[in-house]
Amino acid sequence: MDQNARLVKVEAFVETFREDLDRLHAADERLADEIAQQREHTDRSLTELRKHVDDSFAQQREHTDCGLAELRKYVDEGFAQQRAHTDQGLSELRHHTDQGFAELRKEFNTSIRWLVGLVLANMSMTLGLVAKSAGWF
């Protein structure tokens, strides 16, 4: 009976071992399913993250391009205003310089006339004195 008892024990052990194996296989399948679900979730999350990052970069690039366009426009307007201001200043300076030269020419002409008049007056007085000294008059 000893053998029958051993055989019953072995069969009970084998049966318990089979049940444990069945539970282990079931747990293994559940774990494989959970791993597959986790992988799918991770793939979806990575896809969403990539899309979000790409969208963020696109928005940042668009914002930067817009900012650069506004900055270029502002700088161009500033240069245009500065150029107009400089042109206006140069025009006023030319006008003022032309007026100054016109006044100088007028003063120069007047001074030359006075000088010529004084030279002629001096010459006629000198000739008059020479003629009176020489006794021509």
pLDDT recorded at residue 1:
61
Q: Residue 83 domain-assigned?
A: yes
**DSSP secondary structure code for residue 137 in this structure:** -
Query: By residue range, what is the domain housing residue 5?
Result: 1-97
72 inside domain: yes
- Which pLDDT score is estimated for 134? 86
pLDDT, residue 13, reads 87
Over residues 3-7, mean pLDDT: 86
* 106 lies in some domain: no
The pTM assigned to this predicted structure is 0.43
From the CB of residue 50, how many other CB atoms can be counted at a distance below 10 Å?
A: 10
What are the tokens at 57? 């970069």
The count of domains in the chain is: 1
pLDDT, the chain, mean: 92
> Does residue 92 lie in a domain region?
yes
Residue 53 maps to a domain: yes
Q: Give the mean model confidence (pLDDT) for residues 76-104.
A: 93
Q: Give the tens place of pLDDT for each residue, 8-60.
A: 888 888 899 899 899 999 999 999 999 999 999 999 999 999 999 999 999 99
> Which residue would you say has higher pLDDT here, 135 or 24?
24
Is 13 domain-assigned?
yes
Give the distance, in angstroms, between the CA of residue 12 and the centroid of all CA atoms in the same chain: 82
Is residue 98 within 8 Å of 92, Cβ to Cβ? Answer: no
| Any domain includes 41 | yes
Task: Establish if 118 belongs to a structural domain.
Answer: no
